[in-house]
Amino acid sequence: MFEQLDHVGIVVHNIDETLKTYCEQLGFQLLEQVEIPEQKVVAAFLDGGNVKLEIISPTDTESGTARYLANRGEGTHHICFEVDDIYAALAELTAQGVRLIDEQPRQGVHGLVAFVHPKATHGMMIELLQKTH
């Protein structure tokens, strides 16, 4: 079901400072920076070779991402796997009794996305992505 890892999401306080670290000190290349108003975050995608790194920073204090950052601090937020058919994947996970955050996919930056609940995966937040081609 999980075809390949698309990206690892990292949540941080200050995206500009983090990009300076990741691009200037660690040598990653910035691919794209976007604002996602409906999720109240800014996100930057870095080239990690066979995957991307998504640096995410909340733009308010109320969103799920802002609360995650306040509770757990900076660090890994989720890993995102590409799937061929997100509706089939969600149906299969539901049939397996896996708890989901999103029972229906929603529109993300690069396609349809849905999150599996971290309680179902021993603390790992897994995002599913069906890319828009």
Instruction: Enumerate binding residues for a copy of itself (CB under 8 A).
Output: 1-5, 8, 10, 12-13, 18, 21-22, 24-28, 48-51, 55, 72-76, 79, 81, 92-93, 96-98, 118, 120-126
Least distance (Å) between residue 133 CB and a copy of itself: 18
- Judged by CB, which is closer to a copy of itself: 57, or 112? 57
Nearer of residues 37 and 120 to a copy of itself, judged by Cβ: 120
122: three-class secondary structure by DSSP: coil
C-beta of 82: minimal distance to a copy of itself in Å? Answer: 8
Q: Name the residue nearer to a copy of itself (CB basis): 41 or 55.
A: 55
State the residue for tokens 């999150």: 115
Query: Token pair of 84, please?
Result: 């061929």
Least CB distance to a copy of itself at residue 26 (A): 7
| Residue (93 or 112) nearer to a copy of itself, CB | 93
Query: Looking at this protein, which amino acid is placed at residue 48?
Result: G
Record the tokens describing residue 107, joined without a space.
């529109």
Tokens at 87, concatenated? 């509706």
Q: Which of 74, 26, 24, 81 is nearest to 52 (CA)?
A: 81
Q: Which residues of 104-124 are buried (b: 16+ CB within 10 A; e: fewer)?
A: ebeebebbbbbbbeeebeeee
